[in-house]
Each structure stands twice: as structure tokens, then as C-alpha cells.
Amino acid sequence: MDKAFSIGFWSAVARFILRNRTLLLIVIGVITVLLASQWKHMRFTYTEANLLPDDHEVNVQYNKFLAEFGEEGNLIVLGVKDTALFTPANFTEWNLLSEDLRKAPEVDLTLSISDLKKLQKRKDSAGFELVPFVQDTVFTKENLARYKYELFNKLPFYNGLIYSPDKSSVRTAIYLNKDIVNTSVRKDFIDQVLVPRINEFETKTGINVYTSGMPYIRTLNSQNIIDEIGMFIGAALLVTSLIFFFFFRSFRATLISMVTVIIGVMWAFGILGLLHYEITVLTALIPPLIIVIGIPNCIFLINKYQQEIKNHGNQAKSLQRVISKVGNATLMTNVTTASGFATFMLTNSKLLKEFGAVASINIIAIFLLSLFIIPIVYSYMAVPKYKHLKHLNKKWIGRFVKWMERMVKEHRIAIYVSAIVLLCASIIGIYNIHISGSLIEDMPKTKEFYSDIKFFEAEYEGIMPLEIMVDTKRKKGVMKLATLKRIDELQEYISDVPEFARPISVAELVKYSKQAFYNNNPEYYQLPNSQERTFILSNAKSSADNANLLSSYVDSTGQYARITTFMKDTETERFDRIEEDLRTEIAKIFPEDRYEVTVTGKALVFQKGTKYLVRNLIISLSLAVFLIALFMAWMFRSFRMILVSLIPNLLPLLITAGLMGFLGVPIKPSTILVFSIAFGISVDDTIHFLAKYRQELIASNWKIKRSVYAALKETGVSMFYTSIVLFFGFSVFTISSFGGTVALGALVSATLLFAMLANLLLLPSLLLSLERNIANKETLRKPALKIIPDQEDELEDDS
């Protein structure tokens, strides 16, 4: 694309927009209405994100487990740690709470003290029977004391299931219908049935109820995401409009810009609905991102329009130049920003693909909206008066430009030393970074449900389900005594790991059967020996068929067994060691020729997904750097210029990574996004500066110093304006209650601030120091793309 074609193309675009301004506004209105009609298809996520591709081995194993045993994340638990529970009135209310919830169609089973079954020998025949643990209908202090003693001391089967290992708290387990766990019905049940009924119990008894479990956590987490979308949009509009007004001192310009980005937000929601994508913790960031990224477009366009009016006062000519001159520059910067987001589409994570697709589409959309709406609206309005242009003569901007010139001219060594010191410190910090695969780390720490999670972690040693599936490779192989002994041996190992809760499997029912055989003496809570096995195992199988809860721990053929445990929130490095040791122990206990044992569950899937995501995003960031380097090569036709341009953009990323190490911010799905987002945005300033530098170089016949200072003078203010908007715009994410979103906002803001300083100080310093090595005949060739207009058409005025 040569210079003549570029100028001709954008002149034609300007004529098209201004001659068809009414039609274009109607088209924008129609598209907005059509996209608004797609809002009804927006769906909020009802599960935590699966970061692994469908064909990944860990996902394949997890889906195989689900095929055998169904959804494992269907448990909600209600916990109480209060001795006042075992008083007649309160105990009655606790039982009524369980009974009311059990009646709900969304609930398959409740397991509370009043629901417990006690296994005992039949008196009339051989075998066992399940009888109610609580047999009284009227409660007194005496019989409640008896029940409490018997539960805590004679029923080890319910240890960790109904009462805590230290016997200080009790809980009710609510098993939801597996068909509704990942649907909106779950949310309705929790909002309309569970929470009001718990509140009623707390009001009547004064006892605090702790609530947790994956369905409950997911529901409240999703609600927080929904609540924060509106908060982010409002905060982004407020912050950017205030900064915009501070720069331009014009209500009219501010209002036009706000309307433009609000339409962009409406389009963002419409595209999410049109594509039927779920709103997750990532896609919820897109609408405020559009505001933050869209406002700099408005700054460039409106500033150019006002500059033109100030210079010659011709409105038609000013509007045409806004489109034909600034349009090209903003297109290129928006394309590079969109490219940074689009690289997420190259990962194998569905979550990131959707985020990358919607973000990149909407960045281009907000560019088009800005390019159409701002010139068209101004064409219908009166020419700006002097008071609207006073901001162009701010003295502090002149002082800022002179400060940059002085730093580059007189303190270049100090700039290099500062950059090297920051680089060395960053490398040290990078070595302290760790990866986090925690499911709950980013959850709102101030919310009540987070403190409830920590309660169950402390009392019941974890809430994140980890599943082990044992394939005996033969029907009815699970109930063989040799298999049960191996399962029990593995359970003993798991129980000794501090991060694991007491595991549950069919082996526990068999132990309970032996205890029942010996008149419920807890000392006999153990697997039967070879003499006892025939009678006890056959009757234990019959008992399992009658107990809805434990029948789900053996499949219908008796070939597959399931061992369920729960994990505490564990650091990734520790989790890896635990997993390695667990697999080693499994290999010792279960011979590979006779058993196939699979470790799976939500806890494992999320940990593996995080590590997979980190690897993919490193590749994605590398690809973004490579693509933008290609873009620079195409634009400047100089390999040396590519190297010079990448240094001030990669250094801020390294500084941010170092900060993460020093501040203890881990690499996780939310924070890894920082680098691709920040790189895609910060490179815009480099493009503006180098394009202007190259133009000055040609105009001054290779006068390097003059060209650098002229480029700094002309583009520095625009870079400062847009960087400030982006800095404060991304800072709004720090008001989130999600730790990952807070980190994302703070880190991107910090990175963009470092990038602005690097592009304003380090980049011109490098150009001046390298001089002849950079500005040679290779650099003087005509660029493939003309980005910055001629001298009289600059974006900024230096006054």
C-alpha cells in the first residue's frame, strides 16, 4: 500500500462518511437495536471454568468418571459449631430445616442427624437392617445427650461426614439432583429456598449456619460476577469521563465520547448474546475494557478536530482531515491492541478463546463507532468556540514536553542505568514467582461465603472434591475382600496426608457392617477377615443397595469403585508433590495388570488446567510479540528498528513480572492475561512515535537529533493523554472483590505506566545513542504504510 493509495483511500472514506452521515447514523441505530435484541441470549456461567481442551487426557478421564458416577459437584453442606444445637428447641428446628429442604424437588437426598440410619443385625433373621438413628419424636436434654454421645463415640462411619474429626461441629449434607446442578434451576433453589430457610433457622435459634459446597460457591460466585459488571461499567464511565473533561474542559466533547463508548458497551453485550457465550469472570471484563480502550480513540479524533478548527476554522475541511489523517493512525493502533487479545484465540482453552474473540471483535467495533459517530455528530453542531479550544494552550503540557526533552538530551545515562537496574531487579523478582491453581484464591475474601469455605476447611479438612476411580477389570470385582483391603490401604494413606479430608468409599460401609455384626461395638469398625467375609460382604452389598448415599460409590456392575476425598486449598507446588506421592502409592497398592486406577475430580482438573493455561499463554504472548514484530517489519522495512521498538515494550512486561514476584502475586488464569493485554496496548505508543520519527527523518534529510526531538514533541502529549486514561481506566478493576480481577487491573495499569515512560524516555534515548546504526538507507526506504500524516496534519500541537 503506497503513500498515494493510502491518502486516496482515506480521503474516499472521509467523503463517504460525511456524504452519508444520516444513513450511517441510521445503520448504527439499527445494528444497536438488533444487537440489543440478542441480550436475551446472554448466559451467566453455572460452573467453574474448565481450562483444559476437551480431548486432554485429564478431561477424558474426568468425563469417564462422570459417565460412571454422574456429576460429583452436587453436594451442599450446612455446618453448625454451637453446643446450643443440642437443646430440644434448637435440635427440633435443625431437623425441620433438613426435612423442609429434603422436600424440595431439586434435592435428591439430605443427610442430617435426623436422617441417619444405623446398621444393626436383624433379630428375626440373618443379615442387617437399617434403622433410624433418632427414634424419639419429643426431645429432652437427656435423650439429646445420649444421641450426641452415641454419634460422636459409637458411629465412626459418620466421622468427617456428619461430625467433624475433633467432634466440635456437625453438618447436614444436601445432595442436589445431578440434572440441575449446572443449570439456572440450581440458582433458583439456592436463592429462593435454601438461603431464606437458613435465615429463618438462624433467626429462630440464634445459631450461625455455615454454608458451602461447590453448587453454593458457584452460585454466589456467579452472582458476584453479575453484580460487578454494572459496577465496572459505571466506574469506568465515571473515571474516563472525569479525565476526559479535565483534558478538554468541554461538556459537549465529554458527552459525545460517553455516548460513543456506551453504544460500544451495548454492542459488546449484543455480541456475547449473538455468539451464545457465557458471561464468565473474564468476559465480564469486556464491556468496561471497551470503555477504557474506546476513550483514547475519542481523544485522538476530537483533539485533531479542535486543532484543525484552531488552525483554519473551516469545519468541513477539519472533519475531512480528522477522518483521513487520524483514521489511519487509530486503525493501526486498534489493530495492534486487538491482535494482543486475538492471540488468546490460539490457545486450546475455550474460556480464553471466547474472551479473545469477543474482545478483539469489539475493539475493532469501537474503532468504527468512534470513526463514524464523532465526525458525524460534530458535523451537525456549531463550530467550537474559543472556550472549547483553550485546553490546547495548557502551559503544564509545554512544561511536560520540555521535561521529556531535557531528560533525553541531558540525562540519557541515568535513563539507561535506571532501565538496567530495573531489569536486574525484575529478573530477581521473576525467580520468586509461583503458579497458583487454587479454585478459591480469587474469590471475594470479604464475602460471607468465603469465610464459610475457610470454616469447612478448618473443621472438615477441605471442600474441593478429589476422586479416585478403581477399575477392577471384572464384574463384581469391587466387593472382593482383596479389592476392599487395597481400597482401605489407600484410604489410610490419604487420611495421613494433612491436605486431605477423611475419604469415603464402599469400604466404609463394609467396616460398618462388621461393627453392626458385633453389636455396634466401634472397636470392630474394620474390614472382615477371611472367616467373616462371606456373611458380612453379602449383607453389606445388600445394605449398600438400600442406602442411597453409598450405592453411588460402586457402579451397577460392581466393576468400578469410587473413593472420594476433599482437599484443602493447596499451593500448586505442594499439590504436585502430593499428586506424585499419591500416584506412587497407588502403583504400589494396585497392580497395573489387575487394576486401572484414575485420579480425577474438580480439584485436579482445575490445577492441571491452570498449568496448561500458563504454558499456552506464554506461547500466546510470544506469538503476539512475533506478530507485532512482523507488523513493524512491514511498516518500517528495518530489522534494527524492530529490535529498538521491542525493547521499551518488553522491559515493562519484565518489570511487572518482577513486581509480581516481590509482591507475592502468583501466576494464575487472571494475572497471566496482563502481559498480552498490556503488550498489545503499549505498542501503540511505539508505533506513533516511530512513525513520526521516520517521517521527520525523511523531512529533515537524515537529521537524527532534530527528528527524535520533533517526534517527542509532537507525539509525547498524545501518548501522555492516552496513557493516563488507560492507567486510570484499568485501575477501576481494583475495586473488584475478586482477587484476580484486582491484580489484573493493578498490574495492567502499572505495566502501561512503565510502558509510557519507556516509550517517552528510553525509546528516544536509544534512537539518539544508536544514531547511524539505525538511521541508514534501509530505514530511509518508503514505509509500507503511512501512519502519521504530513507536518501540517499532526495529531497534537506542541503548545
Question: What local confidence, expressed as pLDDT, does residue 21 receive?
Answer: 86
Q: Three-state DSSP class for 346? A: helix
B/e letters for 570-602, b = 16+ CB within 10 Å, e = fewer, are bbbeebeebbeebeeebeebbeeeebebbbbbb
CATH node for 394-431+609-799 = 1.20.1640.10
Domain extents for the chain? 1-47+224-393, 71-215+445-605, 394-431+609-799
SS3 string, 602-660, reads: HHHHHHHHHHHHHHHHHHHHHHHHHHHHHHHHHHHCCHHHHHHHHHHHHHHHHHHHHHH
What percent of the chain has a predicted confidence (pLDDT) above 70? Answer: 88
C-alpha cell read off for 391:
485546553
Angle, CA of 706, 710 and 711, to the nearest 5°:
120
pLDDT per residue as tens digits for the range 87-143? 999 999 999 999 999 888 988 888 888 888 887 777 766 667 778 888 887 888 888
Considering 203-212, 280-289, 646-655, the range whose residues carry the highest mean pLDDT is 203-212
The C-alpha atoms of residue 413 and residue 10 are separated, in whole angstroms, by 42
Contacts of 217 (CB under 8 A, 6+ apart): 440, 443, 449, 453, 463
Q: Nearest 10 degrees: CA dihedral of 408, 414, 420, 424?
A: -140
Cα-Cα end-to-end distance for the chain: 33
Task: Name the nearest CA neighbour of 652 among 680, 628, 615, 627.
Answer: 680
Question: What local confidence, expressed as pLDDT, does residue 6 receive?
Answer: 57
- 327 pLDDT above the threshold of 50: yes
- 53 pLDDT above the threshold of 80: no
The neighbour count for residue 130, using CB atoms within 10 Å, is: 14
Which of 4-13, 32-41, 772-781 is least confident?
A: 772-781
326: left (phi over 0), alpha (psi -120 to 50) or beta: alpha
Task: Name the nearest CA neighbour of 348 among 657, 31, 613, 64.
Answer: 613
C-alpha cell read off for 622:
510470544
Which of 4-8, 111-115, 152-156 is least confident?
A: 4-8
Give phi and psi for 48, each to the nearest 5.
-75, 155
**At the topology level of CATH, where does 1-47+224-393 sit?**
Multidrug efflux transporter AcrB transmembrane fold (1.20.1640)
pLDDT per residue as tens digits for the range 523-560? 888 888 877 777 777 666 555 544 454 567 888 788 89
- 270 pLDDT above the threshold of 80: yes
Angle between helices 88-103 and 141-154 (to 10 degrees): 60
- pLDDT band, residue 493 (cuts 50/70/90): very high
The mean of the pLDDT values for the chain is 80
The neighbour count for residue 521, using CB atoms within 10 Å, is: 12
Compute the average pLDDT of residues 441-462. 79
Which of 93-102, 684-693, 755-764 is least confident?
A: 684-693
Give phi and psi for 452, each to the nearest 5.
-65, -40
C-alpha cell read off for 133:
438413628
Q: Three-state DSSP class for 133? A: coil
Cα–Cα separations (whole angstroms), residue 170 to 80, 126, 310, 459, 565? 6, 33, 76, 9, 18
What value does the CA radius of gyration of the chain take, rounded to a whole number of Å? Answer: 33
- pLDDT band, residue 796 (cuts 50/70/90): very low
- pLDDT band, residue 616 (cuts 50/70/90): confident
- pLDDT band, residue 245 (cuts 50/70/90): confident
Question: What local confidence, expressed as pLDDT, does residue 424 receive?
Answer: 92
- 575 pLDDT above the threshold of 50: yes
Higher pLDDT, 671 or 780: 671
Question: What local confidence, expressed as pLDDT, does residue 449 receive?
Answer: 75
C-alpha cell read off for 374:
464523532
C-alpha cell read off for 518:
458385633
The answer to whether 507 and 484 are in contact (CB under 8 A) is yes
Contacts of 197 (CB under 8 A, 6+ apart): 97, 100, 101
C-alpha cell read off for 25:
447514523
- 768 pLDDT above the threshold of 90: no
Q: Is 195 exposed, middle or buried (0-12, 13-18, 19+ CB in 10 A)?
A: middle
Considering 50-54, 185-189, 625-629, the range whose residues carry the highest mean pLDDT is 185-189
Higher pLDDT, 143 or 312: 143
User: Is residue 80 within a helix (H) or strand (E), and if so which, with residue range?
Assistant: strand 75-80
B/e letters for 311-327, b = 16+ CB within 10 Å, e = fewer, are eeeebeebbbbbbbbbb
- pLDDT band, residue 41 (cuts 50/70/90): confident
- pLDDT band, residue 58 (cuts 50/70/90): confident
The C-alpha atoms of residue 312 and residue 320 are separated, in whole angstroms, by 13
Angle, CA of 747, 748 and 752, to the nearest 5°:
115
The neighbour count for residue 198, using CB atoms within 10 Å, is: 18
Which of 41-55, 61-75, 188-202 is least confident?
A: 41-55
- pLDDT band, residue 64 (cuts 50/70/90): confident
- 279 pLDDT above the threshold of 90: no
Task: Name the nearest CA neighbour of 62 among 463, 613, 467.
Answer: 467
Report the half-sphere exposure of 486 (CA within 13 A, side-chain side). 26
Q: Is 547 exposed, middle or buried (0-12, 13-18, 19+ CB in 10 A)?
A: middle
Q: Three-state DSSP class for 43? A: strand
The C-alpha atoms of residue 432 and residue 658 are separated, in whole angstroms, by 8
User: Is residue 96 within a helix (H) or strand (E), and if so which, with residue range?
Assistant: helix 88-103
Contacts of 779 (CB under 8 A, 6+ apart): 636, 637, 638, 640, 641, 694, 697
What percent of the chain has a predicted confidence (pLDDT) above 90? Answer: 13
Task: Name the nearest CA neighbour of 73 among 185, 209, 174, 222.
Answer: 174
Question: What local confidence, expressed as pLDDT, does residue 439 receive?
Answer: 66
